[in-house]
Amino acid sequence: MKFTEIRAEDNASTVTHFLLLGFSDLPNLQGFLFGIFFIIYLIILIGNSFIIMITRIEPSLQKPMYFFLANFSSLEICFVSVTLPRILFNIATQDRSISVLSCAIQMCFFLMLGTTECFLLAVMSYDRYVAICNPLHYPLVVNSTKCTQLAAGSWLGGIPVQIGQTCQIFSLHFCNSNQIDHFFCDLPPMLKLACGDTSINELSVYFVSTFAPIPFMLIFSSYSKIVATILRLPTITGQVKAFSTCSSHLLVLFLFFGSATVTYLRPKSTHSPGTDKLFGLFYTIVTPMFNPLIYSLRNKEVIAALRKLLAKVLMQANFFSKHMTWSKSKRCQVK
């Protein structure tokens, strides 16, 4: 595709679209990248859909922990669907144009869902803290009403702030270029395209971003207390199992919060397209791909429910196959 770039002296009102350059600097790897991103998207969709389905139909998983897990899986599907389909479309068609409105909508949903993920991870860690450290109070503290309130607060909590931040960014004048050297409409590359003084906007981004470590600190505090409780377990096997789960969770949390914090808290002058894309891949694609494996498929109750579901499906498929065979043989006898 031939990229068109606006001139610096053009008025911002002439910017009707942007160009998401994405991975256009790797022309020989476009087919390979499409295949990789498509497989990752399928893994995320299938893995999280299984979790949502199992937690809904399996009676043994009707617990607060799995209620939050189903919410988290739904969030992951929404979160990656904001960016990955657009990436696949751009690679497949080599049409990297995106309207200003579409860009604003993509950024707004990305920021809102990213905020929801921060809150929901904190809620999930709090749920585990109460369950492990205060098991006798767990049914009272984490009841169905409180679960609904915490989930709703996580989904809705960041909407007003992120809508305001998106409106603030797109009220700027984009007169330097319309080429976004990124694979989606993110804050740092958009600020780079803006002309004039953007210090207020950068300060706003830093201010909002400083709230991201708060959920992380809550999560870290919860897991610290969980680890302290685990150390008092009587058996080494139980300690090793619990530490294995906690370390996996913390690894994903460090990947998500670490890459996002570095991206949004660095000064505008230190941002480079390559670094932004690398960190962007971590918190938009890599962590959502591993989350179903770490939060669910390492859980014995989820694995048992999955095996039970697959066994039912296989039994029904076998019954259907036998029924079809019997029907065919019966028709042959009649003839």
What SS3 string covers 246-280?
A: HHHHHHHHHHHHHHHHHHHHCCHHHCCHHHHHHHH
pLDDT digits (tens, 9 = 90+) for 277-309: 888 888 888 888 887 777 766 677 778 887 887
Distance CA 322, CA 314 (A): 12
Lowest mean pLDDT among 61-70, 143-152, 169-178: 169-178
Q: Which of 217, 204, 329 is nearest to 265 (CA)?
A: 204
Give the residue extent of every domain in the chain. 12-304
For the residues 251-271, what does the mean pLDDT come to? Answer: 71
Q: How would residue 175 be classed by pLDDT, with cut points 50, 70 and 90?
A: confident
CB 218 within 8 A of CB 123: no
Quick check: 114 pLDDT over 50? yes
The rounded mean pLDDT for the chain is 81
pLDDT digits (tens, 9 = 90+) for 48-91: 898 898 888 888 888 898 899 899 999 999 999 999 999 999 99
pLDDT of residue 161: 85
Q: Phi-psi region for residue 94, left (φ > 0), alpha (ψ -120 to 50) or beta?
A: left
Q: Phi-psi region for residue 218, left (φ > 0), alpha (ψ -120 to 50) or beta?
A: alpha
CB 108 within 8 A of CB 190: no
For the residues 82-102, what does the mean pLDDT come to? Answer: 92
Quick check: 239 pLDDT over 70? no
The proportion of the chain whose per-residue pLDDT surpasses 90, expressed as a percent, equals 21
Query: Euclidean distance between the first and final Cα of the chain, in Å?
Result: 63
Q: Which two tokens stand for residue 128?
A: 């585990």
Q: How would residue 116 be classed by pLDDT, with cut points 50, 70 and 90?
A: very high
The CATH T-level fold of domain 12-304 is Rhopdopsin 7-helix transmembrane proteins (1.20.1070)
For 296-329, b where at least 16 C-beta lie within 10 A, e where not — what string?
Answer: beebebbeebbeeeeeeeeeeeeeeeeeeeeeee
Q: List Cβ neighbours of 229 (8 Å cut-off, separation of 6 or more).
A: 132, 133
Strands of the chain, DSSP E: 17-20, 97-99, 179-180
How long a stretch of residues is the chain? 335
Distance CA 19, CA 98 (A): 6
